[in-house]
Structures are given as C-alpha cells and as structure tokens.
C-alpha cells in the first residue's frame, strides 16, 4: 500500500509498504481522510518519544471498515463498508484509569498514529487492545468521511470543556485562534455562552478564520491589554471561563488574572516540556474561589459527542476545513499548518 513514512525530523517520504494484516482480534480500515493535527506538526519538526521511525503517523482518521477479524466481538454491530472514525488513546486495560474508561490518562497509554501506525496510509489496522476498548466509532449516516476527520480534534475540545460547566450568561475568553481555539469558541457558544472573546497575537489569521463563525469578540494583544478589555466587557467582574488553546505561559498567567470570582480556567494547551513552570499569585485562586483544570486528548464518549454535534449541525465541521491535499503533499500540508496559512488541513488518501 501507499503510505507517508516518517523517517525522522523533517523527513516524511511517500513509499510503497506492506499492507498491514488484520489479526483475528483486529479490525482493518481503508483510510479515506486524515486531518493534520498540531501534534503531527510537532512530531515532524521536533520528534516524539513514542514515535520511533520509520513510522506512519496521523490520528485524525476516517475510513471504511475493510476487514473484521474472526475473533472480534464488539459493543455494537459492525460490518465491512461501515464509515468509521478511530479513538486515538489506547490504555493498558488493567490500571485504575483504564478501569474508569479514561484510557487517555492511563500511565501506559499508547496511541494510534504515535505508538501504533496511523492514518497517513491507505490502510490502518486497529490493534486488538483498541478494539477491546471500543475505539471504532461508527459515523452517523449524515456525516461525510471528510467532515468526520474533524471528530478527533473536536473530541479533545469537548473533553476540555467537560469540566468547565459553561452555561447561559457566561463570558468565555479563549487564548489561541487556531482550529482548536475556534472549536472551543463554537462549543462554548453551543453551550449558551453569552460572550466569547478570542485573543491571539497572530491577529490577522484569527480575523481571517474567525469571521465565518460569527458572534465572536476578537482581540489583538499587540494593540490592547487583554485583561483591561475583558474587565471592560464584563463590567469589571472578569471572565467566567478561560481556555488557553495555545502553548503560552503568558496566556496561563494572564488568564488566571482576568477571571472573576468562581471562574474556571482550562490549561488546555500544554507548554513546551523543558519550559513549563509559571509564576502565579495563588491568592487569586484562593480569594476568588477559582478552579484550575487540565485536559489531555479524549475518549470514546467525547468522540460520540463530537459526532453527534456535527451530525446535528450544531458544529459545522466543513467550515474548519480550509485545505484538502493528497497524501503526496503531506509535507506541504504540515508546513502550511505550521505557518498558520490554513485552519484545518485534511489529507485525502482516497476520495469519498
């Protein structure tokens, strides 16, 4: 089969490799689409400890079931030809977190597109451990395979907002105007947030892509003080919720400072691993009764919710896809995502 093989930093080559077998407890999927994630960009430019070259990366996958192993018993009926998306995180299946279905938090989590071969190839085999954890998500009929490639990214935002209890009247501030930041914005709107404010120093890009979603207040931190603006827009109360959808310390520190009483912050975007300490006045957490949350990847229930929101058109997935490229142009796609020239770039392995 044809695959984009990662051989190390800045080195992905299109090659003919052996089509993966489908073991008796496995499911093989013929891949149609795989969207480029920020982590693919990081793997491409900086490597990743769980991606050992040569490897096939890509985890925002949709395709159709091509083969079901003879030993597979699944939580719902599956058949050849079903349109599916795949849950990324696979747990060990034995630990306390796995016992709760929180495979993303398993200390030994292994992911499709990292440890296991991913979706930048014509076929991907869903490993037995993933089949056991119901990692195959059947797409609702009215979701196209192309739109379905957005489910993984959206599921991560859904997991992040799961803690934040966003509701009517809330003011939500989002740092970072990339695809994930915008997904957070439309999710917050769907949850009833009254004001959604977005800030990104790459303001031109934010403006260009946020325009089509409507109802968002956009701020340019190069021109205004975000804290002052948020206080002004909330009559001095501060924000109810802050989401940092960017790897920036300043967003975390400032985000805490502009929360009002009983505010919630999600440190959604991680910081670079060698530079992840911040300096905060913890008294603001104490006196204002703030809640600080983290978020990492997602699980089946978040995928199901993402599929439901897209299916009900509460989230217009198509709006996020600003570029479609063939597998041969994956390097170009990764460069475009890094440069911020595109919102979501989807690789089309086989048209559907």
Which CB, 229 or 302, lies closer to Zn ion? 302
CB closer to Zn ion, 134 vs 291: 134
Q: In the complex with Zn ion, which residue's Cβ is closer, 91 or 269?
A: 91
Please answer whether residues 193 and 171 qualify as being in contact, where contact means their C-beta atoms are separated by less than 8 angstroms.
yes
98 touching Zn ion, by CB under 5 A = yes
Q: Which is nearer to Zn ion, 114 or 209 (CB)?
A: 114
Task: Name which of 87 and 172 has its Cβ closer to Zn ion.
Answer: 87
Applying CB under 5 A, among 37, 85, 172, 219 the residue interacting with Zn ion is 37
Q: How many Cβ atoms sit within 10 Å of the Cβ of residue 245?
A: 28
Closest contact distance (angstroms) between CB of 225 and Zn ion is 32
For helices 179-190 and 203-210, the axis angle rounded to 10 degrees is 50
User: What's the rounded Cα separation, in Å, for the pair 350 and 21?
Assistant: 19
Residue 27 or 90 with smaller CB distance to Zn ion: 90
DSSP letters of 209-271? Answer: HHGGG-SEEEE-TTTS-HHHHHHHHTTTS-EEEEEE-SS-HHHHHHHHHTEEEEEEEEE-SPP
Give yes or no for residue 306 binding Zn ion (CB under 5 A).
no
Stretch that binds Zn ion, among 35-43, 167-175, 234-242, 321-329 (CB under 5 A): 35-43
* Helix (H/G/I), strand (E/B), else coil: 5: strand
- For residue 12, the SS3 value is strand
CB of 106 to Zn ion, least distance (A): 3
98 versus 317: smaller Cβ distance to Zn ion:
98
Question: Looking at 20, 58, 91, 179, which residue binds Zn ion (CB under 5 A)?
Answer: 91
102 counts as binding Zn ion under rule CB under 5 A: no
Q: Are 176 and 246 in contact (CB under 8 A)?
A: yes
Alpha helices in the chain (DSSP H): 38-46, 96-99, 128-132, 145-148, 151-161, 179-190, 203-210, 226-233, 249-257, 283-288, 300-311, 330-339
Choices 91-99, 132-140, 217-225, 323-331; region in contact with Zn ion by CB under 5 A? 91-99
Interface with Zn ion (CB under 5 A), residue from 92, 190, 284, 352: 92
CA 109 vs. chain centroid, Å, equals 17
How far the first Cα of the chain sits from its last, in Å, is 18
Query: Binding to Zn ion by residue 95, rule CB under 5 A?
Result: yes
CA atoms within 13 A on the CB side of 55: 23
8: which 2 tokens? 């190390």
Measured from the CB of residue 92, what is the shortest distance to Zn ion in angstroms? 3
- Binding range to Zn ion, per CB under 5 A, among 9-17, 95-103, 131-139, 260-268: 95-103
- Distance of alpha carbon 180 from the chain centroid: 6
Interface size with Zn ion, residues (CB under 5 A): 6
Q: In the complex, what is the shortest distance from the CB of residue 107 to Zn ion, in angstroms, rounded to a whole number? A: 7
Closer by beta carbon to Zn ion, 187 or else 292: 187
| Binding flag, residue 57, Zn ion (CB under 5 A) | no
* Contact track, Zn ion, 188-217, x by CB under 5 A: ------------------------------
Residue 95 C-beta: closest distance to Zn ion, Å: 3
H helix count then E strand count, the chain: 12, 17
For the bound state, the minimum distance from the C-beta of residue 175 to Zn ion, rounded and expressed in Å, comes to: 19
Q: Looking at beta carbons only, is 95 or 271 nearer to Zn ion?
A: 95
- Interacting residues with Zn ion (CB under 5 A): 37, 91-92, 95, 98, 106
């Amino acid at each position: 089969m044809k695959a984009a093989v990662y051989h190390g930093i800045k080195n992905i080559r299109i090659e003919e490799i052996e089509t993966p077998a489908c073991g008796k407890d496995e499911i093989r999927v013929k891949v149609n689409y795989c969207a480029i994630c920020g982590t693919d960009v990081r793997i491409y430019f900086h490597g990743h400890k769980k991606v050992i070259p040569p490897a096939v990366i890509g985890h925002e996958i949709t395709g159709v079931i091509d083969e079901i192993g003879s030993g597979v018993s699944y939580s719902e009926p599956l058949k050849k030809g079903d349109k599916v998306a795949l849950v990324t995180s696979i747990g060990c299946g034995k630990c306390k977190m796995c016992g709760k279905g929180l495979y993303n938090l398993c200390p030994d989590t292994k992911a499709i597109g990292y440890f296991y071969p991913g979706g930048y190839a014509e076929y991907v085999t869903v490993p037995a451990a993933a089949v056991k954890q119901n990692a195959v998500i059947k797409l609702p009929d009215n979701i196209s395979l192309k739109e379905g490639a957005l489910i993984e990214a959206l599921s991560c935002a859904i997991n992040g907002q799961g803690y934040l209890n966003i509701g009517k009247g809330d003011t939500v501030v989002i740092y970072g105007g990339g695809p994930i930041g915008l997904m957070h914005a439309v999710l917050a709107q769907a949850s009833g947030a009254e004001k959604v404010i977005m800030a990104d120093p790459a303001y031109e890009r934010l403006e260009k892509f946020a325009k089509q979603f409507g109802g968002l207040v956009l701020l340019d931190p190069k021109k205004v003080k975000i804290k002052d603006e948020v206080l002004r827009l909330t009559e001095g109360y501060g924000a109810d919720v802050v989401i940092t959808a960017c790897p920036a310390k300043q967003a975390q520190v400032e985000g805490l400072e502009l929360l009002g009483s009983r505010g919630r912050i999600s440190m959604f975007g991680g910081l670079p691993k060698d530079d992840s300490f911040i300096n905060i006045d913890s008294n603001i957490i104490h006196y204002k009764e703030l809640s600080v949350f983290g978020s990492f990847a997602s699980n089946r229930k978040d995928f199901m919710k993402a599929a439901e929101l897209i299916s009900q058109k509460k989230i217009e997935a198509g709006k996020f896809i600003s570029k479609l490229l063939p597998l041969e142009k994956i390097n170009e796609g990764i460069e475009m995502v890094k440069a911020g020239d595109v919102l979501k770039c989807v690789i089309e392995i086989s048209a559907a």
